[in-house]
């Protein structure tokens, strides 16, 4: 019997060739927007060709939507029926918030390091009677003190957007579930840069989008819903794709499927669907564990070089706590980012830090270049 040779995973060098822009740019802003790939260009060209060939190419677009749902489900270890397509993380969070029975459990506990958009969604529920408690989710004692039998939901990021800290999601889920609360995870800064498996996180809800390490475009996010509870209210924001049969076109009947699709609203963003499938297809040839190991070494090198140069970062000493970016402290991160951009080195400023973000396409040469340009900026 002949055996087929095992295909080796795509190497960082091979992966880098899919991004022609990297020939002239040191791209270290994937925490904000992934680099443009040849696959993304080809996907958008295919969309335009479908429009030229079929006119109103809705059946083709629907295939893209289902392919994106399936690929994202496979990425996080879920079933396709557990995935809803939503425009962004804020809508995903609102859809879950709107189903909470406030009278029974009026409390939402959120992490201090929550991305503002999600925090704003939780805070906006206060007129409904929701109580919001903010905690440091990395402090088990503080979290345990905040979560009680009145808590409906605990919200925690997988990796923080500003400082790039990986949060103890599974531990948070265990504590929340012990009190009868459910867990909402914002995985935007983790998906595509490290393994994210919903069974290991033991979360009830997870949201993440395609525009960062998933290498797509803004306009599309995915909402994972572990299971539908009959005790939940129906979503108050809905649309024709949130029906049992969207193509019944019945304006008089408001029904909701038992699957996560109940949280969908109107027509999905077609360009973002094509872009999502391009990015997810690229990543499928690597595997998140390989990406994680690659970027962890680049983060380690960057912290070491910057520390040697006298810089200060918010990236701690434990590499297992690091996400895919280094948070460099600076009095004016936007000015620093502008200076580096003028030298074709792109980073992403947020708050009091300049975020230096790595993906599988980055190299040690990128690390040396950004550190050298920062030293030059300081006048050293």
Mean pLDDT (whole number) for 88-113? 94
What is the rounded CA–CA span in Å between residue 253 and residue 243?
9
Closest CA to 186 of 161, 209, 157: 157
Supply the mean pLDDT for the chain.
94
Please report the DSSP string for 152-164 in residue order. EEEEEESB-TTT-
What is the rounded CA–CA span in Å between residue 89 and residue 310?
37
Tens of pLDDT, residue by residue over 130-173, are 999 999 888 889 999 999 999 999 999 999 999 999 999 999 99
pLDDT band of 190, cuts 50, 70, 90: very high
pLDDT band of 4, cuts 50, 70, 90: very low
Buried b / exposed e across 347-362, counting CB within 10 Å, b at 16+?
bbbbeebbbbbbbbbb
What is the rounded CA–CA span in Å between residue 79 and residue 88?
20
pLDDT band of 3, cuts 50, 70, 90: very low
Tens of pLDDT, residue by residue over 248-286, are 999 999 999 999 999 999 999 999 999 999 999 999 989
Closest CA to 357 of 365, 367, 368: 367
Is residue 101 classed as helix, strand or coil in its secondary structure? coil
Which pLDDT score is estimated for 380? 63
Which pLDDT score is estimated for 140? 87
Which pLDDT score is estimated for 253? 94
pLDDT band of 1, cuts 50, 70, 90: very low
- Summary count for the chain: helices (H), strands (E): 12, 12
Tens of pLDDT, residue by residue over 35-70, are 999 999 999 999 999 999 998 999 999 999 999 999
Query: Does residue 188 register a pLDDT over 90?
Result: yes
Cα 243 to Cα 117, 257, 269, distances in angstroms: 27, 6, 18
Q: What percent of the chain is modeled with pLDDT above 90?
A: 90
Q: Which fold has domain 12-37+287-378?
A: 3.90.1150
Is residue 85 classed as helix, strand or coil in its secondary structure? strand
Q: Which residues contact 44 (CB under 8 A, 6 or more apart)?
A: 271, 274, 275
Is the CB of residue 209 less than 8 Å from the CB of residue 188? Answer: yes
Tens of pLDDT, residue by residue over 357-369, are 999 999 999 999 9
pLDDT band of 6, cuts 50, 70, 90: very low
What is the rounded CA–CA span in Å between residue 182 and residue 175?
10
Mean pLDDT (whole number) for 310-325? 88
What are the structural domain ranges in the chain? 12-37+287-378, 51-283
Q: What is the CATH code of the structural domain delimited by 51-283?
A: 3.40.640.10
pLDDT band of 228, cuts 50, 70, 90: confident
Query: Does residue 2 register a pLDDT over 50?
Result: no
What is the rounded CA–CA span in Å between residue 231 and residue 292?
39
Polymer length in residues for the chain? 380
Cα angle: 311, vertex 317, 318; to 5 degrees: 150
Give the strand pairing for 325-329 and 353-357.
antiparallel
Which pLDDT score is estimated for 5? 42
pLDDT band of 207, cuts 50, 70, 90: very high
Which pLDDT score is estimated for 229? 81
Closest CA to 65 of 278, 283, 270, 279: 270
pLDDT band of 210, cuts 50, 70, 90: very high
Higher pLDDT residue, 321 or 329? 329
What is the rounded CA–CA span in Å between residue 248 and residue 264?
16
């Amino acid at each position: 019997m002949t055996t087929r040779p095992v295909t080796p995973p795509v190497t960082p060098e091979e992966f880098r060739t899919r991004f022609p822009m990297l020939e002239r740019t040191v791209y270290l802003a994937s925490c904000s927007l992934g680099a443009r790939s040849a696959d993304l260009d080809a996907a958008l060209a295919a969309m335009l060709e479908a429009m030229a060939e079929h006119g109103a190419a809705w059946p083709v677009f629907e295939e893209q939507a289902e392919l994106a749902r399936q690929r994202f489900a496979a990425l996080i270890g879920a079933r396709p029926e557990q995935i809803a397509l939503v425009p962004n993380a804020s809508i995903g969070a609102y859809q879950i918030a709107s189903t909470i029975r406030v009278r029974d459990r009026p409390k939402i506990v959120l992490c201090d390091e929550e991305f503002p958009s999600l925090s704003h969604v939780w805070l906006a529920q206060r007129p409904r009677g929701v109580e919001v408690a903010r905690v440091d989710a990395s402090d088990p004692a503080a979290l345990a003190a905040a979560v009680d039998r009145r808590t409906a939901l605990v919200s925690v990021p997988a990796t923080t957007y500003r400082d790039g800290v990986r949060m103890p999601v599974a531990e948070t889920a265990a504590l929340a579930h012990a009190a009868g609360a459910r867990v909402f995870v914002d995985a935007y800064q983790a998906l595509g840069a490290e393994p994210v498996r919903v069974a290991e996180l033991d979360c009830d809800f997870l949201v993440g989008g395609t525009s960062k390490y998933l290498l797509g475009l803004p306009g599309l996010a995915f909402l994972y819903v572990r299971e539908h509870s009959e005790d939940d209210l129906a979503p108050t924001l809905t649309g024709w794709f949130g029906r049992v049969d969207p193509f019944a076109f019945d304006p008089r009947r408001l029904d909701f499927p038992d699957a996560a699709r109940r949280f969908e609203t109107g027509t999905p963003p077609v360009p973002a669907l094509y872009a999502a499938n391009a990015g997810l297809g690229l990543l499928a040839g690597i595997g998140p564990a390989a990406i994680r190991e690659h970027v962890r070494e680049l983060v380690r090198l960057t912290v070491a070089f910057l520390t040697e140069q006298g810089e200060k970062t918010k990236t701690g000493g434990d590499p297992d706590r690091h996400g895919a970016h280094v948070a460099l402290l600076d009095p004016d991160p936007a000015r620093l980012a502008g200076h580096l951009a003028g030298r074709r080195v792109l980073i992403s400023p947020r708050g009091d830090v300049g975020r230096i973000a790595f993906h599988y396409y980055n190299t040690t040469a990128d690390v040396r270049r950004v550190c050298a340009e920062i030293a030059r900026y300081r006048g050293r």
